[in-house]
């Protein structure tokens, strides 16, 4: 259940300030968590024709979600198929939702705050480059590399697969990981490690929190691939 004293009479801002993940729930329901954040949950739900108790239940789901890092299993002994599937279902699924959402958030914050915070122009540029890299990167993994690894796991791979893995896809994936890490470093520097400015609004705070979540998830994502999945692939020492 809701882990605080907040109820249907509390403001949308109060809910979001306590846990920024709740903003995603409000966004999905069409509730304005920025300019309309001063409204109570009951008022916002009445305006949208929603049952506030049902919305509280949806917020409970977010609150009760176990932190992914705390719940993380030891993947070092997982087979190629299990780990590749986990990466697709967890990290790729997250990125496919988070990247377009963050593009919209960054554009909104840039439009409202760039005059006072010109670094937002560079944040926007760096994030656009990151997204432009990550989306085709995931597609190449899902359509080329991971199917090859699954073949090796099942014992149906051809003799040429280890050679292909050594010379092609894994090398490319690792190079793209390095580029992504460089762009993440740039975003961290520009935002002063996602520090919230005194003149920022709730949307600004949400953008920073989501950028930080992306940063943390991407670090775990890349580690699982480079240090576990790819490190155990045939012929990897030759790369």
What are the tens digits of pLDDT across the range 145-190? 998 888 887 665 555 565 555 567 888 999 999 999 999 999 999 9
pLDDT tens, 55-91? Answer: 887 787 666 554 444 456 778 888 889 999 999 999 9
**Percentage with pLDDT > 70 across the chain:** 83
SS in 3 state form for the chain?
A: CCCCCCCCCCEHHHHHHHCCCHHHHHHHHCCCCCCCCCCEHHHHHHHHCCCHHHHHHHHHHHHHCCCHHHHCCCCCCCCHHHHHHHHHHHHHHHHHHHHHHHHHHHHHHHHHHCCCCCHHHHHHHHHHHHHHHHHHHHHHHHHHHHHHHHHHHHCCCCCCHHHHHHHCHHHHHHHHHHHHHHHHHHHHHHCCCCCCCCCCCHHHHHHHHHHHHHHHHHHHHHHHHHHHHCCCCCCHHHC
The residue-averaged pLDDT of 11-38 equals 78
Q: What are phi and psi of 27, to 5 degrees?
A: -60, -45
- For the chain, the domains span 12-65, 71-238
């Amino acid at each position: 259940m809701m882990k605080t004293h907040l109820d249907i009479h509390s403001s949308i801002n109060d809910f979001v300030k306590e846990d920024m993940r709740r903003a995603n729930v409000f966004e999905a329901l069409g509730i304005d968590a920025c300019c309309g954040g001063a409204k109570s949950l009951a008022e916002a739900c009445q305006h949208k024709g929603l049952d506030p108790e049902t919305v509280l239940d949806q917020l409970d789901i977010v609150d009760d979600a176990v932190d992914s890092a705390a719940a993380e299993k030891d993947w070092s002994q997982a087979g190629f198929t299990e780990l590749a599937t986990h990466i697709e279902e967890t990290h790729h699924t997250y990125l496919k939702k988070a990247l377009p959402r963050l593009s919209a958030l960054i554009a909104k914050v840039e439009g409202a705050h760039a005059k006072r915070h010109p670094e937002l122009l560079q944040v926007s540029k760096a994030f656009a480059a990151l997204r432009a890299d990550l989306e085709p990167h995931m597609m190449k993994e899902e359509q080329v590399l991971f199917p090859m690894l699954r073949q090796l796991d099942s014992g149906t791979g051809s003799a040429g697969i280890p050679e292909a893995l050594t010379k092609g896809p894994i090398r490319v994936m690792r190079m793209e990981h390095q580029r992504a890490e460089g762009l993440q470093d740039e975003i961290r520097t520009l935002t002063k490690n996602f520090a919230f400015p005194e003149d920022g609004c709730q949307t600004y705070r949400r953008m920073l929190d989501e950028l930080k979540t992306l940063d943390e998830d991407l670090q775990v994502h890349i580690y699982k691939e480079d240090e576990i999945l790819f490190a155990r692939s045939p012929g990897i020492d030759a790369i």
